[in-house]
Amino acid sequence: MVVAAVCTLGILLPDPGPLPPLRFWAFDSYQLRLPRQYNAAQPPTLIVEIDDPSLLRVGQWPWPRDVVARLIDRIAEQEPLAIGVDILFTEPDRSSPDRIADSLSRRDRALAQRLAALRPNDEILAESIARARAVIGVAGVDSTIARGAPYAPARIRGETPPLPAYPGALRSLPTLDHAAAGHGLLNADPERGIVRRVPLAAMLGDEPVLTLALESFRVAMKLPTFDLHWNSRGLESVQVGDLVVPSQANGRAWIHFSPHDPRRYVSAADVLEDSDTGDARNKRMERLGDLKGRIVLVGVTALALLDQNTTARGERMSGIEIHAQLIENIIDGTLLSRPVWARYIEALIFVLVAGLFIFVVPQTRPMRSFVLLLACWTVLIAAGVAAYYFTRTLFDPGTPLVGVTLLYGSMLSATLVASDRQRRQLSARLASEREAAARVTGELEAAQRIQTGMLPTRESVLRKERRLEIFAHMKAAREVGGDLYDFFALSPTKFMVIVGDVSGKGLPASIFMAVSKALAKSCSLRAPDTATPAELMVTFNEEISRDNPEQLFVTVVALIIDLQTGDVVYCNAGHEPPILVRRTGESLTLDDGGGPPLCVVDDYPYEEGRAKLQPRDILAITSDGLTEAMNRSGALYGRARLKAMLDLPTRRDVDVTILGNEILGGIKNFESGAEPADDQTLLLVSWRGPT
C-alpha cells in the first residue's frame, strides 16, 4: 500500500516533474508507429526552401538582399494567400552598393560615387516585402532588445495567466521590420532536445505575438487583430477570424507529425530561374503554379546552415517544415491534445489496478498473477493507442504500468523472501543430517554421497514430463569432483539445463561445486519468468563470487528450452560449447554469446545465443574432461570422435540413454584402463516435440 501511494503521488505530479521522460517516450512511440498522413493532393502550405542546390546555383548564403527581394516577388506573382519568411535580417546587407562604395572610396572614388548613387539592397527588399504583404519572423530571446514595428494587437478574453515569455525579441532591420504586414514567432522550444509542441502565442516583452503559422493566417485573412481565450486553467484557444485553434493551458500545441515529405518543398533556385521561352519556362511555371492559393513559407534547409531539429518521430526536420506541419494540423483539425484531467484519469486507473493486485496476488499462484500483470500491460497500452488513434488524445500508459510493475515486484519479492527463508531452514536441517552421516562413514564417502545426491535424476524431474528425454552422467576423477549439472522446470513451458566445471579437483572443488550449483538453481528459481540465461549468468557471477576466499572459478553453460516451440536460449561462461545434432545428420556447435568463467570478471555483461530444436534433435553438453580424456599413449579423445559417436542418421530412433552409454563405453575403450585426468560429465537432451 505504501508503494501504491508513492506511485499515485508520482503520477499526479504536474509537468515538469520526474515523469515527463517516461510520458514523452510513450507519446513519441505513438507518433513513430502511427504518424499522420500527409495530404499531397491538396496541401494547405508549400515551402520555398533555400536548399543545397539553391546555394550551388545562386551562390553562397547569405544572398544579396536584392536576390531575396526577387525571390519574394516571384512568389507573390503566383498569388499565394500569404508569405511567411522564416529568416532574420538582423544586419545590413554587406553586398549592398552603398556598403561596397564605403570600402572602395579610397581605391576608386568615381566608382564609389556611382555605387553610392544606387539604391541600397535593404530598401529593395523592404519594398518587395511591403508589396507581397509578407510576414517576417521574430525570435524570442532572454535579453532586452530595442523595439521595432508594432505587433498585431490582441484581444484578451478572460484573465491572463502567463504565456511562454521572453524578455525581448531578435528582429530584422527596422526598414524591413516596418515593411512587413505581420511578425510571427519562430521559437520552437525543444523539450530535452526534441520538438513535440510549439507555442501558439508568446509574450515578447509585454506584448502577445502569434507564432509564424497563425500570423500567416491573420495576414492571409487581412485581419487587424486576433483573440486569446482564457479559462480558469489557462489558455483555451487562439482565434484568428473564424479560425479557432484549441490550445494547451500553457499556450502550446502538440504537433501531430507526419514523416518528412519532399513534396512539401519547392527549391528557391527553381523560383528564381530565368527561362523565358521553351519547355524550361513551361516546366518552371508548372512548378510555381502550386504556390497559388496556398500559404507559402520561405526558409533555409541547407544542411550547412544547421536549421535542423529532432521531432517526436526521432527524425531530423528543418524549422520551416515544423511551421508547415503546424499549419497542416490547424487546417486539417489534427492537433494532438493532452487534457489537464489526463493525469487524474491515469492516477485513478493505477489506483484501481493496484487495489486489484493487492487483493488478488497474495491469493494467486505466481504464474497466474504474472498473467494478470501481462493482461494489465496489454489493456493499458491498447487504451493509450486507441485514445491516440481515434481521438488524438495523449493518454500515458507508461507511468501506470511502471507503478503496477513496481507494486507487483514488491509483492513478489516479499513472497520470495519467505520462500527463501523456508528453503534455508530446510537446507540447514539437511546439512546437519549429512554431517552426522559423514562422521560415521568418513568424510570422503559422505562428501561423495552429498555430491551425488545433489545431482538430479531423470526419473524425479521428468516423472510427468514427456516432451523431453535426458541422459545425465558425471564421473569424478577422484572420490569427489568439481563437475556439476542440473535440470529443472522453470514453468510449465520453460525448462532449464545447467552444466558446469569448477577449477581444480577433489574436496575443495566439490564443495565449491555444491555452492555453485545451489546458488545457480536458487537464482534461477527466484528470477522473474522473463529472465534470460544472460541475465541469470550475471546473477550467478555476482552470487558465486561473493564468498570465494580460495579464488576458485567455475565454467558454466545454461540453457532455457521452450517445451512448446523448441526454442533454445543459452549462455556460455567459458565452458565447452554444446553440440546440436539434427536428425538430418547436420551437426552444429552452439558457440554464440557467453563470456569468461564465473568469478573471473566482476559485473561482466554476458551475451546469449539462440537455436531452434526440431523434434528428436539432440543437444550434447560435456565437460572438458570428456573430450580431453587420454589413453596410455597420451592421445586425446577429442571432439571429432564425440561427433562421430553422435552421428544420428545411422541410428535414427536411438534412445538417449542407449546413445549416452555407447559414448561412455567408447571413451572407456579409448582410455584402455588409463586413469581419468579430469572429471567427466555428459548430458544429452532430446526434445520430443510440443505434445
pLDDT digits (tens, 9 = 90+) for 403-447: 888 888 888 888 778 778 888 899 888 888 877 766 655 666 666
List the 554-562 sheet strands across, edge first.
Answer: 483-489, 494-502, 554-562, 567-573, 609-612
Distance CA 7, CA 471 (A): 49
| CA torsion through residues 107, 112, 114, 120, sign | positive
Q: One-letter amino acid identity for 442?
A: G
pLDDT value at position 363? 81
Please state, as a whole number, how many other Cβ atoms lie within 10 Å of the Cβ of residue 121.
Answer: 23
What are the boundaries of each domain within the chain?
2-17+339-410, 37-95+125-332, 456-687
Among 535, 38, 28, CA closest to 259: 38
Q: Does residue 53 have a cis bond before it (omega within 30 degrees)? A: no
Residue with cell 513535440: 196
Distance CA 580, CA 465 (A): 21
Distance CA 224, CA 154 (A): 9
Give every CB contact of residue 196 below 8 A, 6+ residues apart in sequence.
24, 27, 28, 254, 255, 311, 312
The three grid cell numbers given for residue 568, joined into one nine-digit string: 533454445
∠ CA 181-186-187, rounded to 5°: 150
For the chain, give the longest Cα–Cα distance: 122
Q: One-letter amino acid identity for 265?
A: Y
Task: Name the CA radius of gyration of the chain, rounded.
Answer: 38
H and E: helices and strands count for the chain: 22, 29
Give SS3 for 152. coil
pLDDT value at position 604? 92
Where residue 341 falls (left for φ over 0; alpha for ψ -120 to 50; beta otherwise) is alpha
Distance CA 311, CA 278 (A): 42
For residue 140, the 8-state DSSP code is E
Distance CA 443, CA 430 (A): 16
For residue 58, the 8-state DSSP code is H
- β-strand pairing of 201-204 with 165-166: parallel
Distance CA 143, CA 553 (A): 64
Distance CA 330, CA 324 (A): 10
Among 210, 211, 199, 146, CA closest to 172: 146
Distance CA 194, CA 253 (A): 14
Which residues does the chain have with pLDDT short of 50? none
pLDDT value at position 488? 92
Cα→Cα distances 125→49, 136, 137, Å? 18, 12, 15
Among 214, 307, 296, CA closest to 252: 214
Question: pLDDT digits over 438-473, tens only?
Answer: 665 566 666 666 777 778 888 888 888 889 999 999
pLDDT value at position 487? 93
The three grid cell numbers given for residue 136, joined into one nine-digit string: 517576417
- β-strand pairing of 494-502 with 483-489: antiparallel
Distance CA 667, CA 665 (A): 5
Give every CB contact of residue 176 below 8 A, 6+ residues apart in sequence.
89, 122, 125, 126, 129, 136
List the 201-204 sheet strands across, edge first.
Answer: 165-166, 201-204, 207-210
Q: DSSP for 542-573, please give it.
A: HHHHHS-TT---EEEEEEEEETTT-EEEEEEE
* Residues recorded for the chain: 691
CATH superfamily of 456-687: PPM-type phosphatase domain (3.60.40.10)
Phi, psi of 244 (to 5 degrees): -115, 120
Question: pLDDT digits over 278-314, tens only?
Answer: 565 555 556 566 778 889 999 998 876 667 888 999 8
